[in-house]
Amino acid sequence: MTIIPAIDIINGKCVRLSQGDYASKTEYADDPLAIAKQFAAYGLDRLHLVDLDGAKASRVMNWDTLEIIAKETNLSIDFSGGIKSREDVDKALKLGAAFVSIGSMAVKQPELVKEWIDEFGPDKFIIGADIKNSIIMIHGWLTETEMRWKDLLERYIPWGIERFFCTDISKDGLLQGPAVELYHEMLKTFPTIKLIASGGVSRLNDLEELKSIGCDAAIVGKAIYEKQISLSELKLFNSGC
């Protein structure tokens, strides 16, 4: 199982939210590049980079952060937040993103997203399901939809998408453990997907449990910044995978 550290950006700074609440943000660092270099120095080769400004504004706001991290590190970056057009996808990939993560648009305009998938290839996309009380939330977790995670996956798997990330918003940022039962149900229902767990990881045992149920990767954010899991521990865990 791959460990994917997270950097969430608001006003050019590394922050974390609790349960998707922008009013509850905690700032951890002024320099996202320095944090990304720390991750790379400890042998972590992936990065979950989220433009929270872009997610809220419905347009990408932090292209420069993506560009400099891609240029200055060898991290394989999945980028999200405010991607709304074919041009956005193209720009993200040209600036160095390995994957573009699509959440709101995957729910609202699936046929447009399918055009992107057909043009750029399904291997360039991660489809995201941000869930609260079984319902998918969009626009930076601010807007409730009528779609459930099963419907989303049933739509995108036939279009060649293998990678999906799922955040249980009720768990995110609380350091109370991930939504293991939800992920287990998703993997039982769709055993061929590469599921990326997100939200709630607070200790190495959480990662062991996610690995044991078959998650392909796990995003770790606040636990790193709050020093509940060290980068040294994550390096050892990665080497054991």
Residues annotated as catalytic (active site), given as ranges: 8, 130
Inter-CA distances, 210 with 3, 34, 172, 178, 213, Å: 11, 28, 15, 8, 5
CA-closest candidate to residue 169, choices 158, 182, 156 = 182
How far apart are the C-alpha atoms of 104 and 159, rounded to whole Å? 17
Token code pair at residue 127: 């489809």
Angle at 123 between CA 134 and CA 118, to 5 degrees: 95
Contact 138, 127 (CB under 8 A): no
The one-letter amino acid at 57: A
Cβ within 8 Å of residue 232, ≥6 positions away: 42
How far apart are the C-alpha atoms of 99 and 70, rounded to whole Å? 12
CA-closest candidate to residue 187, choices 136, 240, 150, 145 = 150
